[in-house]
A and B are shown apart, each in its own frame.
Chain A
Amino acid sequence: MHKKMAFSFPDEVLEHVFSFIQSDKDRNAVSMVCKSWYEIERWCRRKVFVGNCYAVSPRMVIRRFPEFRSIELKGKPHFADFNLVPDGWGGYVFPWIAEMAGAYPWLEEIRLKRMVVTDESLELIAKSFKNFKVLVLSSCEGFSTDGLAAIAASCKNLKELDLRDCEVDDLSAHWLSHFPETYTSLVSLNISCLGSDEASFSALERLVRRCTNLKTLRLNRAVPLDKIANILRHAPQLVEFGTGTYTADVRPDVYSDLAGVLSSCKELKSLSGFWDVIPDYLPAIYPVCSKLTSLNLSYATIQSPDLIKLVSHCPNLQRLLVLDYIEDSGLEVLASSCKDLQELRVFPSDPFGAEPNVSLTEQGLVAVSLGCPKLQSVLYFCRRMSNEALVTIARSRPNFTRFRLCIIEPKTADYLTLEPLDVGFGAIVQYCKDLRRLSLSGLLTDRVFEYIGTYAKKLEMLSVAFAGDSDLGLHHVLSGCESLRKLEIRDCPFGDKALLANAAKLETMRSLWISSCAVSFAACKLLGQKMPRLNVEVIDERGPPDSRPENCPVDKLYIYRSIAGPRFDMPPFVWTMDEDSGLRLS
């Protein structure tokens, strides 16, 4: 029963206004204004984002948003990237595809992250959605090139096929030939994760040649250097390019061919690939370097002098991914050459070695923080750190939004003072008021969590490992971080008290992962019983948790809010704690 206000707009006008509102947060806010706005908004929402595929059921989404065109789903917890989530845990996309296939013949875009995608799912996508345009699979697994062949063969309007960081069963490289000769709409293709065995070069070349709108092409390692020129020759309009293997016998004709073709790519802004790179062929890319805004050298095993030369040619660089071969000296050059740098990721070349193999320390990070005024996102692996360096970094770069530091050896103290790094990280959260994501490492006591709880008011995601002394640490974070959405913890002495005292907080977050800590089975059961809108899942590979004393810590715990209730696709080593868990387990 609506009260028609004198100044209310017709639905079509509101719908038109809402069409300018794209972000999910704003859309959600709009839908909460009043019932009629809720109704209008839900009929015109075109993009749906589900941050945890188990937080809601496909049917619920379809019921609320009857006309969406694009869906993004995320499955496994982030720590799955590091082998902490056993195979078979879950995150299957098939139920979603099956529901949408029936309800939505006009679905255009599917974006998935950390989900299990089977060939069956891909075949169903290919068959069900006639206007399918975009498939982005990020860190997914479970499918083979057969599934890709189905997509290639049927999706006549496909614009984007992006398989970043997926694990694909490479049965045959000939799946590319399944794109019909009449197919020309490809704009973006990322197959960098595919295997190294064979590649169908002629099919690839023909595909590139006829798809004149192709803007992004990321090849896989199997494509040799001398084939790149032939491929690029037909795609001078490329904006983003990923090479395959960047090595070959040094031959002047191959070099000049490559250099020539690259310099005719006037729109190129992003380069990646560079597996097995040999320095002799690097100068071939110098002509395009001045326009580059993004460079991914994280597979390039070249040493500091060559990296320095390369980086000095790229004054407009905004994003750099590189191995620690760049060393402190290289980062100093980066700091003086690349004043537009916004994001830096430095990966370890020898993460499992006991001794440092390169001269990369906290100094490199300090140099970049001091020299690059626009730097806001950092992922840095190193072997030593000091509070002094962290304070300098925090003071000089208060605009950090993402700060992820990994000191390789757990519990490493400040190398100058041998103290914990509490004060250093404390400075980061205190000065960087817009910090949204933080990863901690090194020797840390409860004090760092007190700083985080006090200052990190905009923090949305926190990753903690081998840190803290007691439950107080966890309590500081859960009670102080108002914007916290995702918390992942491993190997810390956090237990029942902080978790139970802050149970209500968990409903305001997307998820909490806590493994190899001190949370007892009893506390898990209690949490499950008291909080019906949380799914409290115990992952324990030792067998049923009730085969051990109740005060025994569980191996891994994953807690997430959900309106879909407990899931039913759990493997034998995952147990949901709910109101009935006491009855079901015994």
Chain B
Amino acid sequence: MSSENGKRLLETDAGGLNFEATELTLGLPGEPRVTSDGGAKLGSKRGFSETVDLKLGDNNREVKLGHSLQEAAKSPVSKTQVVGWPPVRGFAKRGKKSCKYVKVAVDGAPYLRKVDLEIYNSYQQLLTSLEDMFSCFTIRNYLNEKKIEQVNGIEYMPTYEDKDGDWMLVGDVPWQMFVESCKRLRLMKSSEAVGLGLTTGPKYSSTN
């Protein structure tokens, strides 16, 4: 194909598709594009979902994300935001002593995800990663102590099943103990969690 054809390709109207709006960047919307080291490295998947008009979830999505993105930027080191990047095979267990894969289910969603608890250092990192993975659901995040305004969205509470088969609220025990005892995660609708007596806030903050 000659470059002339290529040029014509660019100039034809794509039926109103605004490529810039869907262009993926690594920063918050409105911030300059981050291309090399430095600054908050944020998953482009997050940037992408912000430009898409989601009917699910709440209108305060940007505000909520803004808060948790800032939280993620402050938390040390671990890069867990971009799903499937770098492309290392999950269950290859390379270079790590152990690997703790647990399934994550979300009430009302027809799919499961798996996360490796070993790659996180704190509840905050885990929850940030879950928010990214299930970006259309509003996950109640006690730990940053900001009241998440619930407009249209349904609130979910992160719970887990421990070694004894009991369902607990994520954040109830020290992080390391949680990693050891967690068998699976479930993002439960808040309305259901009330029935199970899981409404009290967790005792352990993200600093543990």
Binding between chains A and B = yes
Question: What residues make up the interface of A, taking CB atoms closer than 8 Å to B?
Answer: 79, 81-84, 86-88, 165, 167, 193, 196, 276, 298-299, 301, 323, 325, 347-355, 381, 406, 408-413, 418, 443, 453, 463, 465-466, 470-472, 475-476, 479-480, 490-493, 495-498, 501, 516, 518, 520, 522, 541-543, 547-549, 551-553, 571-573
Residue ID in chain A nearest B105 by CB atoms: A87
Residue ID in chain A nearest B136 by CB atoms: A542
* Selected contact of B111 from candidates A88, A471, A551, CB within 8 Å: A88
Contact yes or no, B111 A573, CB < 8 A: yes
* Selected contact of B85 from candidates A410, A471, A492, A571, CB within 8 Å: A410
Contacts A350-B95, A476-B1, A551-B16 given; does A495 touch B85 at CB 8 Å: no
Q: How far does the Cβ of B22 sit from chain A's closest Cβ, in whole Å?
A: 4
Interface of A is mostly: loop
Contact yes or no, B114 A87, CB < 8 A: yes
In the complex, which residues of chain A have a beta carbon less than 8 angstroms from the beta carbon of B88? Answer: 82, 347-348, 351, 381
Contact yes or no, A541 B22, CB < 8 A: no
Contact yes or no, A347 B12, CB < 8 A: no
Contacts A352-B80, A472-B6, A547-B55 given; does A493 touch B19 at CB 8 Å: yes
Total contacting residues, chain B, CB less than 8 A: 56
Contact yes or no, B86 A381, CB < 8 A: yes
Q: How far is the CA of A485 from the CA of B103 in the complex (A)?
A: 33
Chain B 85-108 interface mask (CB, 8 Å, partner A; 1/0): 111111111110110000100000
Q: How far is the CA of A349 from the CA of B88 in the complex (A)?
A: 10
Chain B 9-30 interface mask (CB, 8 Å, partner A; 1/0): 1101011110100111010000
Contact yes or no, B84 A351, CB < 8 A: no
Additional A-B contact list (17), CB under 8 Å, known A409-B36, A542-B54: A81-B87, A82-B89, A84-B83, A298-B94, A299-B95, A323-B94, A347-B88, A347-B94, A354-B77, A409-B37, A466-B24, A471-B9, A495-B14, A495-B17, A497-B14, A516-B45, A542-B56
**B64 within 8 Å of A (CB atoms):** no
Q: How far is the CA of A479 from the CA of B3 in the complex (A)?
A: 12
Residue ID in chain B nearest A472 by CB atoms: B6
Contact yes or no, B113 A86, CB < 8 A: yes
Residue ID in chain B nearest A221 by CB atoms: B93
Question: What residues make up the interface of B, taking CB atoms closer than 8 Å to A?
Answer: 1, 6, 9-10, 12, 14-17, 19, 22-24, 26, 35-37, 41, 44-45, 48, 52-56, 77-80, 82-95, 97-98, 103, 109-114, 119, 134, 136
Top 3 closest A-B pairs, CB basis?
A82-B84, A572-B110, A349-B95
In the complex, which residues of chain B have a beta carbon less than 8 angstroms from the beta carbon of A475? Answer: 1, 6, 9
Offer 18 A-B interface pairs, CB within 8 angstroms, sorted by A: A83-B83, A87-B114, A323-B94, A348-B95, A352-B119, A381-B86, A408-B86, A418-B36, A466-B44, A470-B19, A471-B19, A493-B22, A493-B24, A516-B44, A516-B48, A543-B56, A549-B53, A552-B52
Q: How far does the Cβ of B104 sit from chain A's closest Cβ, in whole Å?
A: 10
Q: Which of B9, B54, B77, B95 has the most CB of A within 10 A?
A: B95
Q: How far does the Cβ of B127 sit from chain A's closest Cβ, in whole Å?
A: 16
Q: How far is the CA of A406 from the CA of B55 in the complex (A)?
A: 35
Residue ID in chain A nearest B111 by CB atoms: A86
In the complex, which residues of chain B have a beta carbon less than 8 angstroms from the beta carbon of A472? Answer: 6, 9-10
Q: How far is the CA of A564 from the CA of B41 in the complex (A)?
A: 44
Q: How far does the Cβ of B179 sit from chain A's closest Cβ, in whole Å?
A: 16
In the complex, which residues of chain B have a beta carbon less than 8 angstroms from the beta carbon of A498? Answer: 9
Contact yes or no, B110 A299, CB < 8 A: no
Q: How far does the Cβ of A119 sit from chain B's closest Cβ, in whole Å?
A: 18
Q: How far is the CA of A353 from the CA of B89 in the complex (A)?
A: 16
Contact yes or no, B95 A301, CB < 8 A: yes
Q: How far is the CA of A408 from the CA of B6 in the complex (A)?
A: 31
Q: How far is the CA of A411 from the CA of B109 in the complex (A)?
A: 32
Q: How far is the CA of A501 from the CA of B103 in the complex (A)?
A: 40
In the complex, which residues of chain B have a beta carbon less than 8 angstroms from the beta carbon of A82? Answer: 83-85, 87-90
Q: How far is the CA of A526 from the CA of B59 in the complex (A)?
A: 31
In the complex, which residues of chain B have a beta carbon less than 8 angstroms from the beta carbon of A479? Answer: 1
In the complex, which residues of chain B have a beta carbon less than 8 angstroms from the beta carbon of A381? Answer: 86, 88
Q: How far is the CA of A409 from the CA of B93 in the complex (A)?
A: 21
Residue ID in chain A nearest B84 by CB atoms: A82
Residue ID in chain B nearest A554 by CB atoms: B52
Q: How far is the CA of A542 from the CA of B57 in the complex (A)?
A: 10
Q: How far does the Cβ of B121 sit from chain A's closest Cβ, in whole Å?
A: 10
Contact yes or no, B17 A353, CB < 8 A: no
Q: How far is the CA of A282 from the CA of B78 in the complex (A)?
A: 32
Q: How far is the CA of A553 from the CA of B52 in the complex (A)?
A: 8
Contact yes or no, A411 B113, CB < 8 A: no
Contact yes or no, B84 A84, CB < 8 A: yes
Q: How far is the CA of A84 from the CA of B110 in the complex (A)?
A: 15
Q: How far is the CA of A82 from the CA of B96 in the complex (A)?
A: 17
Q: How far is the CA of A552 from the CA of B51 in the complex (A)?
A: 10
Contact yes or no, A165 B91, CB < 8 A: yes
Q: How far is the CA of A301 from the CA of B94 in the complex (A)?
A: 8
Contact yes or no, A353 B12, CB < 8 A: no
Residue ID in chain B nearest A406 by CB atoms: B86
Q: How far does the Cβ of A569 sit from chain B's closest Cβ, in whole Å?
A: 14
Residue ID in chain B nearest A407 by CB atoms: B86
Q: How far is the CA of A480 from the CA of B2 in the complex (A)?
A: 10
